[in-house]
Structure 1
Amino acid sequence: MRYFFLFSLACGLLLAAPATAQKLRKTAAGSGLMEKGEKVGVWEYYATTRNGSQVITQKYDHSAGRLVFFRPFDDVLYPVSMAAGEWSRARVTHPVFFIGGDPELTTYTSRLSYPTVAESKNVQGRVVVTITVDTLGRASNQQVLLGIGSGCDEEALRVARSIPDQWIPARVGSRAVVSKIDVPFTFRLAGR
């Protein structure tokens, strides 16, 4: 740890005060600086392509609370609400993102408890939950878009509602807009 040394002529003492320690953290999902257990500065977030190479999907400045870079996405129409309660599909400058991208979001979506009924009936599959993200990046109105039943839909909703509000709202031009994102939850029994 670095120390700043202060010399006091009046007392003749040598004092040491610790500087703020920043440590570089690197995981499969991202890398950046940590300070006092919090992410600071610009973090890079990664994804793995089909051929196995790692690419940067996002750069997010945690100190300033803003998206710096995102990997271009498919040119498709996204559900947006330009006026309260009026939904339409539009081209966006960027869609809703979770800070850290899909690898970071997966740390939450994989926290499923397999429902006993689904396990006894050998129910497996994917539940898709749609989440509305407001202009401040807060999630609400989580709803099952595609379900498989046997308690899996309810479990996916429970987990979706527990995902922290670390969303970057969609933008049309420079304006943040209310939009929706579909989040998949996979239920797969071990060994089957």
Structure 2
Amino acid sequence: MKHAFLLSLAFGLLLSISAPAQKLRKTAAGSGLMEKGEKVGVWEYYATTRDGSQVIAQKYDHSAGRLVFFRPFDDVLYPVRTASGEWSRARVTHPIFFIGGDTELAGYMSRLSYPAAAAAKNVQGRVIITITVDTLGQASNQQVLLGIGAGCDEEALRVARGIPDQWIPARVGSRAVVSRIDVPFTFRLAGR
């Protein structure tokens, strides 16, 4: 009996030593479990509403690689590529999402370097980059949709091309579709 207890205790210790350590991580953008430096399980990602309250914008299962929950979005038509390769506007079950939501995406978008030519000419404003996201969540065909010149368009395009492929493709029903997302990059000189 004593031998069985010791064997059971030793086995339990062995399991706890070999089991991967999971740690709860919480940031302003989201919370969930980390294991060996990687996100695992279901993570909650937050957004801030117009009245300043924090809400869950999406839940993403990093272990299964799928979206579990998303906050309702505006019921508008989104650009979707048809089977024939043409673009049309359609209602979607959900649009393109960036894993981690807008807060996570903003971290990549903030990597802008103000172009010297734009600073010298006091050029400020917003550059809109359109990005095509395929059915596997891969981004391509980044293009300037609305530019302000003086090197800002090229800088926004450079940063947009550096955003990692952490996109969740748009869906119509249960089917992933190729769609586009417009991403704004703001250029504002400090103190102006």
Relative to the length of structure 2, the TM-score reads 0.91
Q: Which moved more, 1:84-93 or 1:96-105?
A: 84-93
The secondary structure found in structure 2 opposite 1:17 is helix
Flag the structure with higher strand content: 1
Q: Distance in 1 between matches of 2:113 and 2:33?
A: 33
1:160-189 deviations in whole A, cap 9, x for unaligned?
Answer: 000000000000000000000000001111
- CA displacement 1:138-167 (0-9 Å, x = unmatched): 000000001000000000000000000000
- Equivalent residue, structure 1, for 2:137: 137
Distance 2:168 2:82 in 1: 17
Deviation at 1:6? 3.1
Q: SS at the partner of 1:83? A: coil
Q: CA deviation at 1:19?
A: 2.5
Query: Could you tell me which residue of structure 2 aligns to residue 162 of structure 1?
Result: 162
Unaligned ranges ≥5, structure 1: 8-13
- The CA distance in 2 between the partners of 1:186 and 1:84, in whole Å, is 35
> Distance in 2 between the 1:148 and 1:85 partners?
30
Looking at structure 2, the residues matched to 152 and 84 of structure 1 have their Cα atoms a distance apart, in angstroms, of 35
| Count of residue correspondences | 183
Cα distance, 1:89 vs structure 2:
0.3
The answer to whether 1:6 aligns with 2:1 is no
Using the TM superposition, give the Cα deviation of residue 50 of structure 1 relative to its aligned residue in structure 2, in angstroms: 1.4
Cα distance in 1 for partners of 2:106, 2:112 equals: 11
Cα distance in 2 for residues equivalent to 1:82 and 1:56: 32
- Residue 126 of structure 1 contacts residue 184 of structure 1 at CA under 8 Å; is this kept in 2? yes
Q: From the superposition, tell whether residues 42 and 122 of structure 1 become closer, same or farther in structure 2 (CA, over 3 Å).
A: same
1:56 aligns with 2:56: yes
Amino acid at match of 1:132: T
Matches within 5 A, 1:83-98: 83-98=83-98
- Give how far 1:18 is off: 4.2
Counterpart for residue 151 of structure 1: 151
Deviation, 1:17, is 3.1
Change (3 A) 1:84 1:158: farther
Which TM-score applies when normalising by structure 1? 0.91
Q: Displacement of 1:84 after TM fit? A: 4.7
The AA in structure 2 aligned to 1:81 is R
1:119 aligns with 2:123: no
Structure 2 match to 1:11:
none
Which whole-Å CA distance do the structure 2 matches of 1:17 and 1:35 have between them?
A: 14
* Alignment deviations for residues 48-99 of structure 1 (CA, whole Å, 9 cap, x no partner): 1111110001000000000000001011000001225211000000000000
Corresponding residue SS for 1:112:
coil
In structure 2, the residue matched to 1:22 is 22
- Aligned residue identity for 2:160: A
Contact 1:5 / 1:17 at 8 angstroms: preserved in 2?
A: no
Q: 1:182 maps to which residue? A: 182
Opposite residue 30 of structure 1, the aligned amino acid is G
Q: What is the CA-CA distance between 1:5 and the residue it aligns to? A: 6.0
Q: Residue 82 of structure 2 aligns to a residue in which SS?
A: strand
The answer on whether the counterparts of 1:112 and 1:155 sit within 8 Å (CA) in structure 2 is: yes
Q: Identity of aligned pairs, percent?
A: 85
Matches within 5 A, 1:58-77: 58-77=58-77
